[in-house]
Amino acid sequence: MPAIQLLPDLLISQIAAGEVIERPASALKELLENSLDAGATDITVQLENGGIKLLRIRDNGKGIAKDELKLALMRHATSKIASLDDLQSVASMGFRGEALASMAAVAQLTLSSRTHVDTHGWKVEAIDGQLSEPEPTNQALGTTVEIRELYFNTPARRKFLKTEATEFAYCEEAFKRVALSRPEVAFSLQHNGKIIWQLAAGQEAIKRVAAVLGDAFGQAAVEVSRNATSLSLQGLAALPAYSRANRDAQYFFVNGRFVRDKVASHALRQAYQDILHHQRHPAFVLFLDIPPEQVDVNVHPAKSEVRFRESQGIHQFIFHSVQQALAIPAQTANQTPQQSATFVPMQQNMSLGIAQSNAAYRVGETYSEKGKNVFDEGNYGTATVLNIASTESKQASPFAHHDQTIPPLGFALAQLSGIYILAQNQHGLIVVDMHAAHERIVYEKLKSSLDAEKISTQPLLIPVSFYADTLDVATAEAEHAALHQLGFDIAPLSPTTLAVRAMPALLKQSEAENAAREVLNELRDFGASRVLTERRNELLGTLACHAAVRANRILSVTEMNALLREMENTERSGQCNHGRPTWFQVTLKELDKMFMRGQ
Ligand SMILES: Nc1ncnc2c1ncn2[C@@H]1O[C@H](COP(=O)(O)OP(=O)(O)OP(=O)(O)O)[C@@H](O)[C@H]1O
Ligand SMILES: [Mg+2]
């Protein structure tokens, strides 16, 4: 036997199939994509035993002509591209011409189709890679593909398949991804004869998201909608309280294709960094549209990865779009008009706070500036915060309310346990964690003043001196400029004493030593350039925590109201720096329910 020989065709396909068709779910994904590429508007999926025993998918697309049926099952046969130029600007989901051939190599496959010129359908079968001649069959306009006994002829591979329930779960996930990306198409999914999903055609993208991921996601999400010259990012990003312990609610699509992309993941992680606890994962459904020639989709056999020509620009675009959408301060969200005011009458369109309650979690039950309720028209409390142009939000002043109106976070009533502020707005009771809220306010102020290079400093009448080791003293001397930029003036008094002579006005003088130590430690461990860039927000967060009002500080009603008004004006004020909520709304409706009033 010669040392080197050409492999038989079937074996080549079986090897290739290992990459493209890992499990029933990957076959399902390929078949769904083929149906979409064929222009189908109605797609039905039937699975048996997790898709291992049977996977049948029927579409009403343009079909395949009788004399092309066998071709469709051959390797490197595609109708979607013909040249390298086509590949570089490919807009269809498929283009490699190998999905059906791979399936035919590792399963018993039947392909039936009927085009609009046929009077009846035709089918071909592939068994052990052998293709039968086309035979007439009963088939409506469109195509049906049946895959039976996946990997029956490659037992080693079949062993890797998991239980029926697990394989079904993977299939369902593949189905959801495609269904999310094409709301104009009707989809249904059956498993072992039971209908699992039925999604009507022509849904608005946002409704499809709610249908697939559930209302809770919709209610906790803000809309992301940003267009640049050739880029667009649309979709929903959930606020931190909807975050997950894993990445299972992350859907990112590039030109309609679900992908796992490092650039996008990193940008999204960063966009959430400030408001999400580091052990939680954000939830989102986002669609990036980009000219096809700016993205390479031919990176991975299953096309689950892409490569951007301008990855830096894409990163920035995603980061800014999502960060801005998440930054909605309480005051920008609009009032829901039909909520009956229980005490002072309110203006329509007045801003409303973000409402959160445990029973029915709602971070932001609001309407867009057009008054559009996204998820559930007419049902109070189920809409979502919509992204409102930031310029607009910046102009709005919380003090611009009509005398008779109530600000979003209402007016303070009392302080509870030295920890919470209780306030009343038109919906009922607001409970604020005063430390968490204040911390966020100070943090945001520190960030924006550092950005503008004008952290206002306060000189200390009596400098605060403290014992420091020689390294601290050396750091204070060497990093004088960085300290100055951060609003500190720290000078050595002796080889083992440092004195804080000035500090940021936003911080408390009583915290001078702690704050100075914090900053010096950072500078010592990481150096000025890192402290002022990548570590900056963490440091400002720590400083803000020192500066924020502590529990058990008694606040006057005026002080409490001032804090509420500042919250309304502060970006991201719905969460503290660590991603915990800063306030909750308990509506009168919820109180009524608790007391069984009107039931
Ligand atoms: N549901 C369908 N309706 C109409 N034509 C189809 C359908 N499925 C497949 N085809 C035809 O069969 C060809 C081969 O399909 P296959 O999935 O193997 O390759 P592809 O979609 O071109 O590329 P890829 O391997 O990247 O998916 C397609 O190019 C298309 O012309
Ligand atoms: Mg295909």
Closest C-alpha to 363, from 319, 313, 329: 329
**Ligand 1 contact, 114 CB (< 6 A):** no
How far apart are the C-alpha atoms of 281 and 460, rounded to whole Å? 42
- Asked whether 432 and 582 are in contact (CB, 8 A), the reply is yes
**Ligand 1 contact, 96 CB (< 6 A):** yes
Q: What percent of the chain has pLDDT over 90?
A: 45
* Residue 257 three-state SS: strand
Q: Does domain 406-599 have CATH number 3.30.1370.100?
A: yes
Please check the confidence at residue 339 and state whether its pLDDT lies above 60: no
| Greater pLDDT, 62 or 76 | 62
pLDDT of res. 247: 75
What is the position in ligand 1's atom list of the atom closest to the CA of 98? 25
CB environment 567-581: b (16+ within 10 A), e (fewer): bbbbbbbbbbbbbeb
Q: Which of 24-28, 309-313, 524-528, 552-556 has the highest mean pLDDT?
A: 24-28
- Ligand 1 atom 19: the closest Cα is on which residue? 97
> % helix / strand / coil in the chain, to the nearest 5?
35, 25, 40
**Ligand 1 contact, 100 CB (< 6 A):** yes
The ligand placed nearest to the CA atom of residue 302 is 1
How do residues 369-383 score in pLDDT, each as one tens digit? 222 222 222 222 222
pLDDT of res. 334: 35
CA triplet 566, 568, 574: central angle to 5 degrees?
Answer: 105
Least confident range from 177-191, 278-292, 538-552: namely 538-552
How far apart are the CA of 59 and the centre of ligand 2, in A? 14
Which amino acid is it at 307? R
- Ligand 1 atom 21: the closest Cα is on which residue? 94
What is the position in ligand 1's atom list of the atom closest to the CA of 101? 18
**Ligand 1 contact, 257 CB (< 6 A):** no
Burial class (CB in 10 A: 0-12, 13-18, 19+), 63: buried
- Asked whether 315 and 267 are in contact (CB, 8 A), the reply is yes
Domain boundaries, the chain: 9-199, 205-326, 406-599
How far apart are the C-alpha atoms of 337 and 425, rounded to whole Å? 14
- Asked whether 532 and 481 are in contact (CB, 8 A), the reply is no
pLDDT of res. 199: 96
- Asked whether 407 and 564 are in contact (CB, 8 A), the reply is yes
Please check the confidence at residue 386 and state whether its pLDDT lies above 60: no
- Asked whether 430 and 588 are in contact (CB, 8 A), the reply is no
Please check the confidence at residue 340 and state whether its pLDDT lies above 50: no
How far apart are the C-alpha atoms of 8 and 75, rounded to whole Å? 13
Please check the confidence at residue 212 and state whether its pLDDT lies above 70: yes
**Ligand 1 contact, 164 CB (< 6 A):** no
Please check the confidence at residue 482 and state whether its pLDDT lies above 70: yes
Q: Which CATH code for domain 9-199?
A: 3.30.565.10
CB environment 384-408: b (16+ within 10 A), e (fewer): bbbbbeeeebeebebeebeeebbbb
| Greater pLDDT, 573 or 64 | 64
**Ligand 1 contact, 553 CB (< 6 A):** no
pLDDT of res. 571: 84
Please check the confidence at residue 551 and state whether its pLDDT lies above 90: no
The ligand placed nearest to the CA atom of residue 40 is 1
pLDDT of res. 330: 52
pLDDT of res. 27: 96
Least confident range from 167-176, 191-200, 238-247: namely 238-247
- Asked whether 185 and 214 are in contact (CB, 8 A), the reply is no
Q: Could you count the other beta carbons within 10 Å of the beta carbon of residue 506? A: 20
pLDDT of res. 511: 86
Burial class (CB in 10 A: 0-12, 13-18, 19+), 109: buried
Please check the confidence at residue 552 and state whether its pLDDT lies above 90: no
pLDDT of res. 152: 84
| Greater pLDDT, 111 or 339 | 111
CA triplet 187, 123, 119: central angle to 5 degrees?
Answer: 85
How far apart are the C-alpha atoms of 332 and 434, rounded to whole Å? 21
Please check the confidence at residue 50 and state whether its pLDDT lies above 90: yes
How far apart are the C-alpha atoms of 187 and 212, rounded to whole Å? 11
How do residues 161-184 score in pLDDT, each as one tens digit? 888 999 999 999 999 999 999 999
Sheet holding 232-238, edge to edge: 221-227, 232-238, 284-289, 250-254, 257-258
| Greater pLDDT, 48 or 530 | 48
**Ligand 1 contact, 78 CB (< 6 A):** yes
One of 1.10.1060.10, 3.40.120.10, 3.60.20.10, 3.30.230.10 is the CATH number of 205-326, namely: 3.30.230.10
How far apart are the CA of 100 and the centre of ligand 2, in A? 7
- Ligand 1 atom 4: the closest Cα is on which residue? 63
Which amino acid is it at 27? A
Q: Could you count the other beta carbons within 10 Å of the beta carbon of residue 145? A: 23
How far apart are the C-alpha atoms of 438 and 576, rounded to whole Å? 8
How far apart are the CA of 426 and the centre of ligand 2, in A? 55
Considering Cα of 23, then 29, then 32, then 33, what sign does the dihedral take? negative
How do residues 117-155 score in pLDDT, each as one tens digit? 999 999 999 987 789 999 999 999 999 999 999 988 888
How far apart are the C-alpha atoms of 238 and 242, rounded to whole Å? 6
pLDDT of res. 329: 63
Please check the confidence at residue 192 and state whether its pLDDT lies above 90: yes
pLDDT of res. 401: 37
How far apart are the C-alpha atoms of 77 and 68, rounded to whole Å? 10
pLDDT of res. 509: 85
HSE-CB at 483 with a 13 A cutoff on CA atoms is: 27
Please check the confidence at residue 256 and state whether its pLDDT lies above 60: yes
